[in-house]
Structure 1
């Protein structure tokens, strides 16, 4: 038996996965005593730290007693399900992390289903038992029921449970008896997760993720399924479509702590990084040079949403970004497809535009935000759900939506969701909150979060996951209000904004450069209004005491990228540059908009 365990940590977003990995790393003395590490060690890119979520799965390993434990930290958000599905192939067991108050959330169900289907052994960790009004016993019952509904085997249903608080750094088999360390969890991993199997025979290794180094290029990461892999060994790369390419391993690394160490040979069961193989993609198999055998190709759920990406053709193009041509945007999108399996890029009739397919608003917004930080200027259109024809019927993606809200505002939430063709399935108390479950078309979720948070004064907790394709539910009303559109270019003035405040709420501050056709605010009525806010006050040589009004301007509304994506309509674009984000009409002049109005009806 190998002294090696491979585990993936799965959980709903914000249930404490990355914090738990921090504590495991500290407990196993990965760092020197005087080393400054900070929190959320694995969320190492800026976007992950700012948003407080994991976007890309990471590999680390720790040595506990005499066992090496490979840990894979996975994203918790439904939009990054493609990332989770492929890395589960590297594990023999999973740590299912659950909040002691919230219990099993929709995303927990999604990844648990994938893990159980692969036959992985689960350990359930009920986290955050130090929270007020936590309910660990109820959560345990809920998880057992979830496993049963997902058709877990007898062995999987007989799962060990560990209680604790990863923030406070303790784990125990009894939540009423706190300890001072997390060794109870590591002991459970060593005792219950099966050791990585040793399969003798010719080499087989599937590439399940990739890394990049500016010195050696792309690095293939995966688990050796059978046999062993050595440095300088000639190998065969079998592509997803069965095509065979001969290659050679230049360097070989295994994971040690947070880094990698070079090694001569990696035996079956261990996770390693291979340098020197060219032209590989995720899902390819590295096999024996003489008698290559392919492993089953990774299947990833299909995208449910698409967006139009196009070059920036506004009057301000090229002022702030480095990469503005369609060729550069095309190269960047195709490069992203290599490592982002749930993403698909389709060329359109126009050479300047591409349709990008993804798992949801967050999935696409992370790509846009990353490109923006790299210096790209792009424009994106309204997100559209992907409609399919199944058995001659028009079908659309339907999602399960879960909302936890204070009881007194539950009625408002139900009203908002049912307006968007949502159907209430379950309504029950959960602690001091009301727990609501709906089935709703994916179209209905776009733009819903803002409305729900406004109606509940920010107290709603929302989560959703893709369920299935079902028959089209009919028309869903879009945005209720029109927008205020600029008729002129120039610098905005406080005087003009002040005079037009009764017409709506503004998205721009005084003293900002704007152009004709830019969206400046939200109109109070349902039609669009063309306005001029670059006009200054007419000056005279007379001074009149008391007649000059002081301008009192309400603060401008500032959208996040996701909010802007949910806000725009079919005849609008978001212009995104490294320094700014503007909303605009596709056709900038009022005359063009009137001529092309029928296109968007």
Structure 2
């Protein structure tokens, strides 16, 4: 049988989880459909998911359509949990993007479609809820063409729209209008069809369907299906389309082992279970495999997804998704075996919010940290930041709902009740100029047996931190080079104002060390010889001196926004946008509707969301997503440091030599 790893994506409440239930039921994988409201669906297994009626964690279920085994991955629709979607995208062969026939194309729908298009993931569009009052067909198809993709092809017509008796009639080869539209869409990427279409030649329906499958598989065309996950209307045509139009998984089972970890969970005994998509080769029980940067482990057990769920197996072959036991140090995003080129690319922006979390009981501080560390294994973008000096923990987030979920998880699963401080916006620092510094061993004021010289300068946009050598690789032992490079990356997590420094190039310009030596007839004396610790301790002082010379600019995250409002409310909205430091572009009037695009600081989006209904009679619609960073206007905000503060040389050296005095000056 062929295998298809299929993602179900949607804006929250579009009916994504209900569609998953319906597909499983229609395929015979489950005997009875659960409901989101009833809290008994197959893929929403967490107590919070059942209580809130939303998907928080991705989940995998399996079923078969004819000769195709479908591994279906249900993903969160709420934007606060976009990190879950991020990880799933890298393992998909195809996707179904669910759109509500009532609410239409929503903010998260567009974000998801753009990501699917960037990655060229073959995608079908399913318009759900045709049985609901207010459901749209023609208007929604127009909105899909305007706001999602012009390469959309409706595959059927809706009868009795907006009622429980709503049904779908699939288009066929005897429908001249459908044949004409299909040929027109296919002609954009097929010269033979274009020629026949222009010249009025005969076009066989079988040939057009074959071309439709090819172009859908290349993500050039997006068939649109209508239906209802609740009543089952239109589900049969959708399932047939999934099997016919989306491409099966590729990969050679006999090739080199290559897979990706897209989810990690804990078993009953606390053991790690990695969800792995295999792209090449075959993973077997008792195999020793490499993963991540330098991890290695022995596979103790395997299961593969089929017949509705995961079943124990001895092997996990290319194209399949399964669970892997035995890799104790594995993390989400790790490659299993050989990594795929470009696999580490990020498809959505990183979190732009941060909050301080405290245990309500002081005695729970250790338990809270251990619990958060375990949660960060399951969601690396949580981004824990620990202040060892003040024993404080910060968590990076996408939104307030995510904060509530973390608090509920800590209380419910770990017995730790916590409180959060106000959420703050995460800024970055960019290097303003060129700066350099060096300290030489055995020359004051350098107290370390190491010579380190560094130059820092601006780098390309989105390049991160690039480390280069201007000294010979053999000038110091390789371990010392690595110590400097690792410390550079660690130190730049906090710049002159305490924010992460990015998009820069750091070049090592000077190096030197004291070779291993000792007193006569004595054992090795590390006080007379350089160690990696000397380089790790000296590098922050040199790097921050160079950064201080270069200077840095604090930049805040900016959202690209799009507003759809009644035209007569534009005058009342513009003053608010000005106060929120937004930069709108010229408005576009479309009849009585006004479309307004522009940029707004991420820190001001929440207020715009709150004020919008009152200023637009409840008719305003806002879409926004992180787009870029811009220099902060006015005095740059300062983030409290959590390191030993290499900008204060005296205090830095004191804390290094006397860890018990780390609290000095912090009261």
Output the TM-score relative to the length of structure 1. Answer: 0.66
* Alignment check: 8 A CA contact 1:18 1:40 kept: no
* Alignment check: 8 A CA contact 1:204 1:226 kept: yes
After TM superposition, list the pairs within 5 Å mapping 1:21-420 onto structure 2. 21-32=20-31, 38=38, 41=41, 42-146=43-147, 155-171=218-234, 182-199=235-252, 200-215=254-269, 217-232=271-286, 234-239=287-292, 242-245=293-296, 247-256=297-306, 258-287=308-337, 297-300=343-346, 301-312=349-360, 318=361, 324-348=363-387, 350-374=389-413, 375-390=415-430, 392=432, 393-402=553-562, 415-420=575-580
* Alignment check: 8 A CA contact 2:7 2:92 kept: yes
- Partner-residue secondary structure (3-state), 1:208: strand
For 2:91 and 2:394, the matched residues in 1 are separated by 32
How much has 1:406 moved relative to structure 2?
A: 6.9
The change in CA–CA distance for 1:46 and 1:428 in structure 2 (over 3 A counts) is: farther
- Could you give the per-residue CA deviations for residues 405-441 of structure 1, whole angstroms, max 9, x where no partner exists? 6778776555544432234458678999876655321
- Partner-residue secondary structure (3-state), 1:368: helix
The answer to which of 303-312 and 139-148 deviates more is: 139-148
For 2:603 and 2:33, the matched residues in 1 are separated by 52
The change in CA–CA distance for 1:127 and 1:475 in structure 2 (over 3 A counts) is: farther
The answer to whether the aligner puts 1:439 opposite 2:599 as a matched pair is yes
* Alignment check: 8 A CA contact 2:34 2:40 kept: no
* Alignment check: 8 A CA contact 2:430 2:555 kept: yes
For 1:113 and 1:470, the matched residues in 2 are separated by 23
The answer to which of 77-86 and 466-475 deviates more is: 466-475
* Alignment check: 8 A CA contact 2:259 2:339 kept: no
* Alignment check: 8 A CA contact 1:237 1:280 kept: no
* RMSD across aligned positions (CA): 3.5
Structure 1 unaligned blocks of 5 or more:
172-181, 313-317, 477-569, 571-598
The change in CA–CA distance for 1:35 and 1:372 in structure 2 (over 3 A counts) is: closer
For 1:185 and 1:419, the matched residues in 2 are separated by 48
For 1:113 and 1:372, the matched residues in 2 are separated by 36
How much has 1:243 moved relative to structure 2?
A: 1.1
- Could you give the per-residue CA deviations for residues 148-206 of structure 1, whole angstroms, max 9, x where no partner exists? 699x99742322111122233212xxxxxxxxxx1100100011110111324122221
- Could you give the per-residue CA deviations for residues 316-353 of structure 1, whole angstroms, max 9, x where no partner exists? xx4xxxx8432122112211111112111112254331
Aligned to 2:483: none
How much has 1:119 moved relative to structure 2?
A: 2.5
* Alignment check: 8 A CA contact 2:25 2:32 kept: no
For 1:170 and 1:430, the matched residues in 2 are separated by 34
Structure 1 or 2: more helix by fraction: 2
* Alignment check: 8 A CA contact 2:263 2:378 kept: yes
After TM superposition, list the pairs within 5 Å mapping 1:468-487 onto structure 2. 468-472=628-632
The change in CA–CA distance for 1:13 and 1:411 in structure 2 (over 3 A counts) is: farther
* Alignment check: 8 A CA contact 2:264 2:377 kept: no
* Alignment check: 8 A CA contact 1:305 1:359 kept: yes
How much has 1:145 moved relative to structure 2?
A: 4.8
* Alignment check: 8 A CA contact 1:324 1:377 kept: no
Output the TM-score relative to the length of structure 2. Answer: 0.60
The change in CA–CA distance for 1:399 and 1:474 in structure 2 (over 3 A counts) is: farther
The change in CA–CA distance for 1:474 and 1:207 in structure 2 (over 3 A counts) is: same
Structure with greater Cα Rg: 2
* Alignment check: 8 A CA contact 2:10 2:99 kept: yes
How much has 1:116 moved relative to structure 2?
A: 2.4
How much has 1:307 moved relative to structure 2?
A: 0.9
- Partner-residue secondary structure (3-state), 2:14: coil
For 1:225 and 1:210, the matched residues in 2 are separated by 18
Task: Report the number of matched residues.
Answer: 449
* Alignment check: 8 A CA contact 1:48 1:54 kept: yes
- Could you give the per-residue CA deviations for residues 506-560 of structure 1, whole angstroms, max 9, x where no partner exists? xxxxxxxxxxxxxxxxxxxxxxxxxxxxxxxxxxxxxxxxxxxxxxxxxxxxxxx
